[in-house]
Structure 1
Amino acid sequence: MAFLGLRKWPTPARLLVLKPMLPFIAASGLTFYLVGALQDMGVKSETYAKDPKNPYAAQIAHESKSHH
């Protein structure tokens, strides 16, 4: 049965849909990881570790005390 003149098309296998998107999925995961790592490095840098506006200042101070 046609709906508005359109006929049914077979649904492609998941691999056929997923395969062309794999580079984008991998790049998204890598970008997400690297941005998170850079943010963590920036927050823990000496310049911003003791800044009162840093939301992680207390956590960083606690970590630095436990390492010494």
Structure 2
Amino acid sequence: MSFLGLRKWPIVKPLWPFFIASGVTYWLVSKAQDKMIRAPEYAHDPRNPYAAQIAKEAHH
């Protein structure tokens, strides 16, 4: 059975690099965000939603 002339899985085969790239991009942005949140100039900012968590981890 086809939908708009396309079979079910052959559309995924040429798009696999985009799936991998989106996963890598998500991971890199997540790591960058974590590094920025924990930077000393932002770690003690009261607007930082993770300030309490960072302060508790720093006391250990």
For normalisation by structure 1, the TM-score amounts to 0.76
Structure 1 spans left out of the alignment, 5+ residues: 1-7
Percent of residue pairs identical: 43
Distance 2:42 2:55 in 1: 12
Larger relative contact order (CA 8 Å, sep ≥ 6): 2
How many pairs does the alignment contain? 58
* Structure with higher helix content: 1
Q: How large is the Cα RMSD of the aligned pairs?
A: 1.8
TM-score normalised by L of structure 2: 0.85
Runs of 4+ that moved beyond 4 A:
8-11
Secondary structure at the aligned position of 2:12 is classed as helix
